[in-house]
Amino acid sequence: MPVLKDKKVKVIKEFKEFDSSTYLYWLKSMVLMRRFEEMAGRLYGQQKIAGFCHLYIGQEACVAGCVSALKEGDKYITSYRDHAHPIALGTNPDYIMAELFGKSTGISKGKGGSMHMFDKKKNFFGGHGIVGNQIPIGAGIAFSEKYKKTDNVCITFLGDGAVRIGAFHEALNISMFLKLPVIFVIENNGYAMGTSVKRTASHEDIWKLGLGYEMPCGPVDAMNPEKVAEAMDEAISRARSGGGPTFLDLKTYRYRGHSMSDAQKYRTKDEVKEYQKIDPITQVLDKIKENDWASEDEIKKIDKRVKDRVKECEQFADESEFPDKNIMYDVVYEQEDYPFLPHKL
């Protein structure tokens, strides 16, 4: 994966060879993301999940490869397609499913729903429903880490559509100027809702937007977690050493619609089938089988355990209680005897 710096191609450094444990971790993690999202889609159809719901199916290699390059203390923020991110970071999937159900046991206590997952223990800052809202916040988190003189970085995910807003450019400018330890990561699935990248600019190479700020940048094959991990390792190493931000264009694809209400008339079924030929989970499985890192029976057992675990998530969410309505105000008003609440409680 070439990373561009000072408008010249820089060849990525040689990365350590990934072993069986890494690939088996990727398989388990990505299969859990996939099965969880498939279940979420079914439960949405059963009206157990309401509101907006954006599935991550097809994009699993982005987050799996990214998390492999992190260390404890690193920070993480993303947009509204955010179910798989906390799963990869180690959040209990029971709490994620409960949040989708709007239950009190949810990771955001039932107040956030699909688009607003947060997990302070895992340094996961959300889950943001407003397009691009998380980009300057990610820069701010990175500023905080630099101010406190840590070697932590902030991974800031965004969609390809979000690069067209002003806050994106403001964040890149100040991050490069202050050499902030932030990695801006585009999950470029080719479509901003239903609008293809080619219809939003004069060229499709989104990573080139980094050149205007002389920021190291480049495209990444994000259907392969190994390629993502390699690119992230280089970017994170640069940030930890004081070299500042990186802008990565992760080329990925979503197999489902933008949201559950998306009729997907902007693309053909043949296009989806072509991308399914390079499914990230299939690529990981092929590598595992090629190296005899797991037998067919062991692989089937992994899938069964994951399916059983996802069923447990549904049961947990089903059996959890809805939150009391007074929690709508418990983090809003500091004054305990605020006079305008009693009629609402």
pLDDT of residue 345: 53
pLDDT of residue 15: 46
pLDDT of residue 343: 56
> So where are the chain's domains?
3-319
Residue whose structure tokens are 């859990």: 32
pLDDT of residue 88: 96
b/e for 130-164, b at 16 or more Cβ within 10 A?
Answer: ebbbbbbbbbbbbbebbeeeeebbbbbbbbbbbbb
Q: What is the tens place of the pLDDT at every residue in 132-142?
A: 999 999 999 99
Closest CA to 155 of 25, 229, 66, 250: 66
What does residue 212 show for φ and ψ, rounded to 5 degrees? -65, -20
Low-confidence ranges of the chain (pLDDT < 50): 1-15
What does residue 167 show for φ and ψ, rounded to 5 degrees? -60, -30
pLDDT of residue 344: 56
pLDDT of residue 333: 77
Residue whose structure tokens are 């069923």: 311
Terminal-residue alpha carbon distance, the chain: 56
Q: What global pTM score does this model have?
A: 0.90
Check whether domain 3-319 has CATH 3.40.50.170, yes or no: no
